Amino acid sequence: MQRARVDLWVGLFVALGLLALLFLALKAGNVDSMFKSEGYQIHAEFDNIGGLKAKAPVKSAGVVVGRVESVSFSNESLRAIVSARIDEEFKFPKDSSLSILTAGLLGDQFLGIDPGGDVDNLVDGDRVRITQSAIVLEKVIGQFLYGKMSDSGGN
Amino acid sequence: MIVKTLSSLGHAIIDSIWRLGVASSFIAKVLTRSSIVLRRPQLLVDEIHFAGVLSMVIIVVSGLFVGLVLGLQGYETLKRYGSTGAVGTLVALSLVRELGPVVSALLFASRAGSAITAEIGIMKTTEQLSAMEMMAVDPHARVISPMFWGGFISMPLLAAIFSAFGILGGYLITVVVIGVDGGAFWSQMQASVDFYHDILNGVIKSVVFGFAVSSIAVFEGYSAVPTAEGVSRAVTRTVVTSALAVLALDFVLTAFMFTGGV
């Protein structure tokens, strides 16, 4: 009887441990990062990507529709190249535009996709033409200060 | 005077290197005898009960409280930046990456490691180990190997339980009590916790800590001076050495795992 109770407790313990691991994997982590993500890949060139990183979300109308796969630099166009994978279930017209936005004032940056009006949809490997770079806070402040100075200098 | 100081320094260094060598050959000997846990799995089950099941209560309760405190402190800090939804990320990442493996290893060392050392030390003091050898039963295989494997297997499971209960504790205090949005809590957590980079690395850490604490515990027990005082010193050494080893290993592992990442 003692034997059976020890066995039962060890079984419970191991089951609870595995359950906790499963909980961490399913509930705390994003499981889809375990598998090769499905969907189609799109590329775009940006003048400035700010702080955009791989794995940042791609959002349309605030809903996550995909993830940024990689960020690299093109030696030919001297611009940043962003590759993103969009989930298969979401379709966007070919003339959709991409912009780099910030979540909140100091939040992480993500890729926003604004649908266009084309009849054809984006397919795997497509390049998005219309892009809008990240707003770099330093540049905006610099322009503002410069404007202020020229204002006061003119008067 | 100077010669005496220098020679005592040299003696201490040679002594510690000698101890390290003895410990390594001892652990190697225990590992080569580990086929017994496959031939007689009941021995291993008993040791998992001893090291794992009996440590579960302290692990669950500590995990819950660590999660509660993390949730409260995280909420108080994040409130200033208006991003209280990120408290889920904070709780989950700190638990899965660091606190889960480290704190559960420290608790494991003081709860189970000390007990393992005491048991082996007293068996040695009362000459039970010698008696086994007289009967041609290898104590490395019959006693020490199952104890080592029991601790080694229990540790990652305990760390996972600790992290899971910590996250539940964080959820309890921030979402249920304070009223942070539950959807933001889970979705921000899921968006930033990566399976390979965070969870798997945390599991690797707990496996390494399990190996370190179990080896230290069985070695200190086996090499204890066979007196009452010697066993008590060995238990103290187990807890202190394990804690230092866990913290030092944690730094090394973190430096390898989490720098230059995404």
Q: Domain coordinates of chain A in residue numbers?
A: 2-31, 36-141
pLDDT at A106: 63
Report CB contact under 8 Å: A29, B156.
no
Among B188, B199, B204, pick the best mutation site for testing chain A contact (most A Cβ within 10 A): B199
Task: Identify the pLDDT of residue B234.
Answer: 94
Please classify residue A77 by burial: count the beta carbons closer than 10 Å to its beta carbon, then call 0-12 exposed, 13-18 middle and 19+ buried: exposed
Is B193 within 8 Å of A31 when comparing Cβ atoms? no
Task: Answer yes or no: is pLDDT of A144 > 90.
Answer: no
pLDDT averaged over every residue in chain B:
91
Distance CA A92, CA A115 (A): 6
**Nearest-angstrom CA–CA distance, A2 and B132:** 25
If we measure between CA atoms, which residue out of A26, A119, A42, A25 comes closest to residue A87? A42
Q: What is the pLDDT of residues A70-124, one digit of tens each?
A: 888 989 888 899 998 888 888 889 888 888 888 766 667 888 888 888 888 888 8
CA atoms of B250 and B233, how far apart (whole Å):
25
Residue B116: phi, psi to the nearest 5? -60, -45
| CB–CB contact A14 B191 (8 Å) | no
pLDDT value of residue A54: 77
> What's the whole-model pTM score?
0.75
Report CA torsion sign: A63, A65, A67, A69.
negative
CA distance B43 to B41: 5
What are the tens digits of pLDDT across the range A33-77? 545 567 888 989 888 888 787 778 888 888 888 888 888 898 988
Rounded distance, CA B100 to CA B167, Å?
Answer: 10
Q: Can you tell me the distance from the alpha carbon of A68 to that of A57, in angstroms, rounded to the nearest whole number?
A: 6
Tell me which residues of chain B have a pLDDT lower than 50.
262
**Adjacency order of strands within the sheet including A126-128:** A126-128, A40-46, A80-86, A63-73, A57-60, A109-114, A97-102, A131-132
The structural domains of chain B, with segments of one domain joined by +, span: 33-257
pLDDT score, position A130: 85
A-B CB pairs within 8 A amount to 95
Q: Does position A20 have pLDDT exceeding 70, yes or no? A: yes
Verify whether the Cβ–Cβ distance B53 to A10 is below 8 Å.
yes
Does residue A10 contact residue B173 with C-beta atoms inside 8 Å? no
Task: Give the model's pLDDT for residue B262.
Answer: 44
Please tell me the distance in Å from B96's CA to the nearest CA on chain A. 8
Asked if A13 lies within 8 A of B46 by C-beta distance, the reply is no
Amino acid at B163: S
| A71, closest residue in chain B (CA to CA) | B262
Which of A20, A104, A107 shows the shortest C-beta gap to B164? Answer: A20
DSSP string, B206-239: HHHHHHHHHHHHHHHHHTS-SSHHHHHHHHHHHH
Tell me the chain A residues in contact with residue B198 when contact means C-beta distances shorter than 8 Å: 29
> Residue B189: its chain A contacts at CB < 8 A?
28
